[in-house]
């Protein structure tokens, strides 16, 4: 079995979000996949194998399987093309716990992911979440996966130092903190914290942008937006709404290739 490490939502090594991609010929034992994800110790390890008209794709953090992951899907599509599993003009089709997800390359050679839109509904946050974040929110909301917290400025966003132990007690996968960007190159910026899922701060989170894209599209009155996730590694996305879907575009680069010997 080949294993790749891909930096997603970037075109430079050591930036974006690293994901392990494991290419399987057939389904694998769930416990073994979880152990391998723990061994890789990245925010996500993706496993895919041929299935129906595409591939069955699953994602694991070091501690659990998740329902949706953007950067590991982008990394998996990147490997399908780079390693010649599918032709350059062919779309990648992934059957997942979140339904059928597709990826294609656009004219600029950015990989476009077709994901479900998951807009947040206004909601109060548990007191412990705001205490753990130490922020003054402009808006608070929630979708089926995460809390979303808008704050007043990018400078405030960069100063956030969460209490991860308290944040891990929140009854959701994670917390998205976002603001408008101070940089004219981007419409909004964000950070994502998911200690309950084994990832204190995720470098770049595609699935969080399933909430951020419709939220900021509605707030800014524009369909196409440029986004920056302001983690220590940083990552760039071009996003747009498409009905009840979102299109998340990014780049990827392979940094390692290995072979499973166990």
Exposed / middle / buried, residue 99 (Cβ in 10 Å: 0-12, 13-18, 19+): exposed
- Is 44 annotated as catalytic? yes
Name, in order, each residue with C-beta under 8 angstroms of 26's C-beta and a sequence gap of 6 or more. 49
- Given 30, 44, 65, 112, the catalytic residue: 44
CB 50 within 8 A of CB 92: no
CB 47 within 8 A of CB 33: yes
Name, in order, each residue with C-beta under 8 angstroms of 170's C-beta and a sequence gap of 6 or more. 126, 128, 129, 132, 147, 196
Other beta carbons within 10 angstroms of residue 133's beta carbon come to 23
Other beta carbons within 10 angstroms of residue 221's beta carbon come to 7
CB 23 within 8 A of CB 48: yes
Name, in order, each residue with C-beta under 8 angstroms of 97's C-beta and a sequence gap of 6 or more. 58, 65, 67, 68
Catalytic residue numbers?
Answer: 44
């Amino acid at each position: 079995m080949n294993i790749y490490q891909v930096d997603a939502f970037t075109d430079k090594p050591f930036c974006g979000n690293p994901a392990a991609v494991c290419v399987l010929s057939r389904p694998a034992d769930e416990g073994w996949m979880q152990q391998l994800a723990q061994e890789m110790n990245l925010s996500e390890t993706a496993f895919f194998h041929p299935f129906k008209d595409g591939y069955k794709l699953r994602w694991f953090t070091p501690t659990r399987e998740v329902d949706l992951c953007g950067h590991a899907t982008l990394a998996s599509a990147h490997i399908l093309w780079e390693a010649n599993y599918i032709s350059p003009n062919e779309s990648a089709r992934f059957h997942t716990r979140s339904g059928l997800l597709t990826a294609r390359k656009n004219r600029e050679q950015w990989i476009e992911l077709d994901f479900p839109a998951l807009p947040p509904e206004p909601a109060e946050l548990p007191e412990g979440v705001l205490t753990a974040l130490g922020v003054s929110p402009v808006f608070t909301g929630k979708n089926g996966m995460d809390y979303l917290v808008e704050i007043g400025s990018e400078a405030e966003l960069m100063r956030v130092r969460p209490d991860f132990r308290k944040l891990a007690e929140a009854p959701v996968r994670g917390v998205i903190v976002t603001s408008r960007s101070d940089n004219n190159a981007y419409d909004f910026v964000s950070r994502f914290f998911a200690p309950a899922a084994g990832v204190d701060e995720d470098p770049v989170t595609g699935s969080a942008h399933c909430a951020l894209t419709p939220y900021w599209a509605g707030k800014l009155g524009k369909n196409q937006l440029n986004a920056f996730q302001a983690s220590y590694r940083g990552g760039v996305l071009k996003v747009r709404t498409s009905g009840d879907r979102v299109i998340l575009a990014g780049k990827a680069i392979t940094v390692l290739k290995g072979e499973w010997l166990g």
